[in-house]
Structure 1
Amino acid sequence: MKDIKVIGFDADDTLWVNETYFQETEQEFCKLLSPYIDAQTLSAALFRTEIQNMPLYGYGIKPYILSIIETAIKVTDGKVSPAVLQKIISLGKEQLRKPVVLLPGVEETLSALQGKYKLIVVTKGDILDQEQKLIRSGIEHYFHHVEIMSNKTEKEYQKLLHHLDIKASQFLMIGNSVKSDILPPLTLGCYTLYIPFKTTWAHEKEKVPNTHPQFKEIKSLQQVLSFLSL
């Protein structure tokens, strides 16, 4: 850990609340379609549609709403009304305008780390949405660089390390998703800190690599400071 020069922070559900809003939108979607289908079956159908569309649409609120609209048409055999479709679009716009709620200890931790390490944001999803959330968060000034990936793969992390001109052992990645934030950089030889969020999208769930020497699970962002002996 003494060689670490750059610390990467995932954004959604690591720096600020995100998945909670997706769940709220899905709950409203289930209410809208309750005359046609039960919530459990609808949620399963939506998840299947999201996974199928992911290679084409990528991640984020806009692809999510497109998948919701497609699911609504499928499960109702095209009977869903224009009024319901308009409401779904409105739900998407509402989600895009949600306030950015920082998680506990974010500013305190970033302030303590600033100047001691190069801090960067490493996130994925829609570029415009993620850029706007970072601006609204009020913490943009802490970061030297913002990397918005279409997907968090080993290849993308390797490109990031090359761009930063550092070795894998000089990079620490912090995030709430084992699949996206932990396993790819860990495979490359980076250090990783995993901070579970209260809810996790099913697509992001993976087995926690507890026995790996360059992996550590912590309970909160504030624990990063004690982990780095600050």
Structure 2
Amino acid sequence: MNYEFNWFYVQKSLPDLFDGLLVTLQLTLWANAIGLVFGFLVALGMMSKIKLITWPLTIYIEFFRCTPALIQLVWFFFCVPIIFNVWWSGYFMGILALGLNLAAFNAEAYRAAIQAIPHSHSDASVALGLNAFQRIIHVILPQALILALPVLITNGIGIFQQSALVALISVEDLMYQGRYISTQTFRPIETLTTVALIYFAVSFPVSQAVSYIERRTKRLLAN
């Protein structure tokens, strides 16, 4: 390979890459906020015995789990404005698509965690006179969060990485900036390698934290 590496343009463009990283982190935080809250509500709905509730939620979960995130993102960006006559920015559409995608996966994590909570805990909360809302907030939610936390964080890392797809709808995230710089400088190897290393630098510490939380959770459950 007769290729001479030149990192000058990448170093010069680092501020633009970090601006893109900031957009990526904002997208990730908002998507996780939707995924954590809406995912829990969907999980509660899936625990219902009313088929009129569970069927639409099942369709929602299976749609987002069984179709590519790229298709979902592009569909939201191009089809939602036509169908509902609403014209939102690519940034907002990216948050919405990523958040709903994450909520579908988180819902399954929550549901598994809720099913793992001993029935005696619910029985005790009923005996204490807690109503349904109080049982959800004070008994079910805290335990479900603890049990599902490793999976929720792993899903959050996944959505951080999938957020790179928003570059296709012209959201100026890290991937968009990297692609733009690489085409302007004709230095794709240096630029995209730097972009990959930035994604890795953010994701790797979080993945290690997941491993630590899993070990702690296992020890807590063992006691």
Question: Quick check: which one's helix share is greater?
Answer: 2
> Do Structure 1 and Structure 2 share a fold, with TM-score over 0.5?
no
- The structure with the largest strand share of the pair is 1
Q: Which has the higher contact order (CA 8 A, sep 6+)?
A: 2
- Give the TM-score normalised by structure 2: 0.31
State TM-score, norm by structure 1: 0.31
Whichever of the two has the greater Rg, that structure is: 2
